[in-house]
Chain A
Amino acid sequence: MKKNNGFSVLMNGIIKENPVFVLILGTCPTLATTTNVFGAFGMGISTLIVLICSNILISLLRKVIPDNVRIPCYIVIIAGFVTIVQMVVHAFFPALYDMLGVYLALIVVNCIILGRAEMFASKNSVGRSALDGLGMGIGFTLALCSIAVIREVLGAASFAGIAIPFLADYKIDFLVKAPGGMVVYGLLIALVSALTFGKSPKKKEFSCAGCPGAKLCGSAACHGEKHEEKEEK
């Protein structure tokens, strides 16, 4: 995996490390907002904007933020951007605001954003962090839209709220309900892993060394690192 190339950073989030289908992050909004293509697209774009902004700001402040209180700092930064996005959506897209409801505010605790802040923005330059945010955001939006297209067209016989007449008699209600979302999500994960077989990130890259929680983790695999740290002190 070339980490130097800006383009590869961008594409990384779209396919190879797609936050929804490969990293399995942000599952809650993925299942909740994909009953409608319009809502899924809105959710994806809102997250994308927050992701780029928070990645840039966290990358800028990465040398200022003390290590011990980094999580609260990230949360405050993310919450600030979410509030701005929420106000903008409320003002200019009231229909979308009503549709997404609480999930718009819940972008604050979306693990994709916090995860990228912790794993990427806090270690990389501003430009690369912005590209990573853009790639991850596009990957998230595409994933949401692909789930939503299947669920809405087959489950509700409409596309972005516009009814498809010839499918009206052949609706499968199951798909717009919660278990249907799970099934479609699972099938797409299977499809993506089948298509990218061997290309998805190796387990090693997610080992304790790359894990942000390694210092606090009680797992046996992490003990070595924990031990070393104590010795250093």
Chain B
Amino acid sequence: MDNMLHVSSSPHIHSGKTTQSIMRDVLIALLPATVAGTVIFGWRSLLVVAVCVASCILLEALFNLITKKEQTVGDLSAAVTGLLLGLNLPVNIPIWQCVIGCIFAILLVKCLFGGIGNNLVNPAITARVFMLVSFGSMAVQATPTIVDTVSGATPLVEIANGNSPSLTDLFLGTTGGAIGETCALALLIGFAYLLIRRVITWHIPVSFVGSVFLLSFFMEGFDFSAALSLILSGGLLIGAIFMATDYVTSPSTSAGKLIFGLGAGLLTFVIRYFSVYPEGVSFAILFMNILNPYIEKLTARKIFGGPRA
């Protein structure tokens, strides 16, 4: 009752959300993808994910201890980074490479820039790009253990070669790829959960995936199923739902979010079709992360009653 008369500046109404509760929701939303990855690729995927989560948490705790900063491990953001990074790795990646990736994500991208809220780019996506550039093992994609398949190539590589996997395989995730990115069904369940819990809005994922779909639709000669298989394959869904929507590195206004998603979709499309890399989602998100401050500036809301922008 002693809080009845509480005098403070705005905002006056608190939704009750904290960084911790939001991050916990993201972790829950990623659970289906983790389970699906374990079922599809076997027990080693759980080991990879666990190593990533554990080393991210440990590294952040150690950094805060050594530099005598406020301990921020409790907000679970390091766990989210670790889980996302783990889900973005192929199942047969050497464990030491996972740890190096976590060091890059947590120490270089996050802690050295001042910890949560101050990182310029998303730690998980940057670490994925770093590992893609560094380690040949990132390109060797795992094959699912639960179905008989002879091909080790990712769907995008196969599509480039002219033999597209079936839409059912792509939807259920029984194709080659990183642990958490293949099962579209599990990722969409996570998306629905995040939307219901109002952790994210629809703007970035829909404009991101939608623009890739439309551009691919035109590029593939108005072939609906080909365009659909292109948005279900690769890291597009996990990137659009979980990584492009990171609060710190994406715009805060609806218009800004739409611009962010469209830009990322356009870049993904360009990299997929016109570059040596089969997949461009991580590069696209990283690039848009860097553009984010300018998008924020461009779409800043006019102050009510203030001077005209």
Contacts and interface: CB of A to CB of B under 8 A. Distances in A.
Contacts of B136: 173
Nearest to B136: A173
A179 interface: yes
Contact of B133 (A170, A177, A187, A190): A177
Contacts of B130: 174
Given A170-B96, A172-B100, A179 B133 contact: yes
B96 A190 contact: no
B224 to A, nearest CB: 39
Contacts of A170: 96
Nearest to A174: B134
A217 to B, nearest CB: 28
A173 B108 CA distance: 17
B135 interface: yes
B134 A172 contact: yes
Nearest to B108: A183
Nearest to A179: B133
A142 to B, nearest CB: 23
The winner among A172, A175, A183, A187 for most chain B CB atoms within 10 A is A172
B112 interface: yes
Secondary structure type dominating chain B contacts = helix
B131 to A, nearest CB: 8
A171 to B, nearest CB: 8
A183 B100 CA distance: 15
Interface string A167-191: 0001011110101000100010010
B125 to A, nearest CB: 15
A173 B135 contact: yes
Nearest to B131: A174
A175 B130 CA distance: 10
Chain A, interface size: which category? 10 to 19
Contacts of A187: 108
Interface in A134-179: 170, 172-175, 177, 179
Interface in B133-158: 133-136
A177 B134 CA distance: 9
Contacts of A173: 133-136
A175 B108 CA distance: 14
Contacts of A183: 108
A177 B131 CA distance: 13
The winner among B96, B108, B134, B136 for most chain A CB atoms within 10 A is B134
Contacts of A177: 133
A174 B112 contact: no
Nearest to B134: A174
Interface in B102-133: 108, 112, 130, 133
Interface in B60-86: none
Contacts of A190: 112
A174 B134 CA distance: 4
A179 B104 CA distance: 13
Interface in A168-216: 170, 172-175, 177, 179, 183, 187, 190
A174 B112 CA distance: 19
B133 A174 contact: yes
Contacts of A179: 133
B130 to A, nearest CB: 6
Contacts of B108: 183, 187
A175 B112 CA distance: 18
Nearest to A175: B134
A177 to B, nearest CB: 6
A147 to B, nearest CB: 16
* 3 nearest A-B pairs in the assembled complex, by CB-CB distance: A174-B134, A173-B134, A172-B134
17 contacts: A170-B96, A172-B100, A172-B134, A172-B135, A173-B133, A173-B134, A173-B135, A173-B136, A174-B130, A174-B133, A174-B134, A175-B134, A177-B133, A179-B133, A183-B108, A187-B108, A190-B112
Interface of A: 170, 172-175, 177, 179, 183, 187, 190
